[in-house]
Structure 1
Amino acid sequence: MASVKHTAIIDADPQSIWHVLRQFNSIAEWHSGVAHCTVEDGKSADTGGSIRKLMLADGGVVRQRLLSIDNDLMELSYGHEESELCITDFLADIKVRTEGDGSQSTVTWQAHFDMTNQDVTCHSVVSAFIIQGQQSLASKLMANITITA
């Protein structure tokens, strides 16, 4: 099983970051790699079990299920239901934590998955999507970002 983990420090308070991240259906509003997002079956976008369909900026399609969300801990996890990527058994989680005096936050985004072929490109695609997401999140909040790992 392959894994990718990136941690970023964003110059924004945790509640502001969590407000954006917790809206499972709004990823297209802040992630530059996602062109469009819809939630299927009329479910609430912030309820475990809801499925979002992403139209990626490169034309790909991914369906993701929200597995869990915890507003108190500021954590969510999701998995792929369907993907055109060369990966299977994809599980990811995002955690927001207070950094320093509370005016900064640590955002940790990690994913675990199997690759259908051992092409390094698959791993790189997931890594790039996560980094792009963290950078896009900071840009949406007009905040500085430092990716630490």
Structure 2
Amino acid sequence: MERVFVSRVIDASADTVWQAVRDFNGMPDWHPAIADSEIEDGRAPDAVGCVRSFHLADGSHLREQLTELSDAYRMMRYVILDSPMPVTGYDASLQILPVTEGDACLACWEAEFEVSEDDDGATVDTVTNGVFRAGLEALAAQLERPG
């Protein structure tokens, strides 16, 4: 089992950042790797069980299902249903925690998954850097207070 964890302090309130990420269909608005996204079957993007179908900038197609959403804890959990990555059992969460000094927040994105035995570490690197780190950096660039 592989485990990936990336965190970043963002100089914006936890509520501001949570409002940007809690929309399960909103990743194209802040993540540079996501080209488009739609929620299947007309469900609401904050309904637990909804499935987002999206394309990456390179044309790859993925489907993910929202399994938990908590406004009280500013946390969402989701699983991958279909992906070009050689992963199984992919379970991820994204949580936004308030930082008491300065009204900033800590964004924590993590996942656990299995990769094929012949994977050379490329999948872990892709999730760590191409998905989580790139996403949190873009989120910070979009939402941080100037100065």
**What TM-score do you get using the length of structure 1 for normalisation?**
0.92
Change (3 A) 1:119 1:26: same
Please give the residue correspondences for 1:67-78 in structure 2 after superposition, counting only pairs within 5 Å.
67-78=67-78
Residue identity over aligned pairs, in percent, reads 26
Please give the residue correspondences for 1:123-138 in structure 2 after superposition, counting only pairs within 5 Å.
123-128=124-129, 129-138=131-140
Please give the residue correspondences for 1:1-149 in structure 2 after superposition, counting only pairs within 5 Å.
1-101=1-101, 103-116=103-116, 117-128=118-129, 129-143=131-145
Structure 1 unaligned regions, length at least 5: 145-149
Change (3 A) 1:13 1:60: same
Q: Secondary structure at the match of 1:101?
A: coil
With 116-125 and 27-36 compared, the bigger mean Cα shift is at 116-125
**What TM-score do you get using the length of structure 2 for normalisation?**
0.93
Structure 2 unaligned regions, length at least 5: none
- Can you list the C-alpha shifts for 1:13-72, whole angstroms capped at 9, x where unaligned? 000000011011110111001010111000110010000011001211110000000001
- Can you list the C-alpha shifts for 1:59-100, whole angstroms capped at 9, x where unaligned? 111100000000011000000011111111100001111113
- Could you tell me how far 1:102 is from its partner in structure 2? 5.1
**Large movers: runs of 4+ above 3 Å:** none
- Could you tell me how far 1:134 is from its partner in structure 2? 0.3
Change (3 A) 1:74 1:85: same
Q: 2-side partners of 1:4 and 1:74: how far apart? A: 20
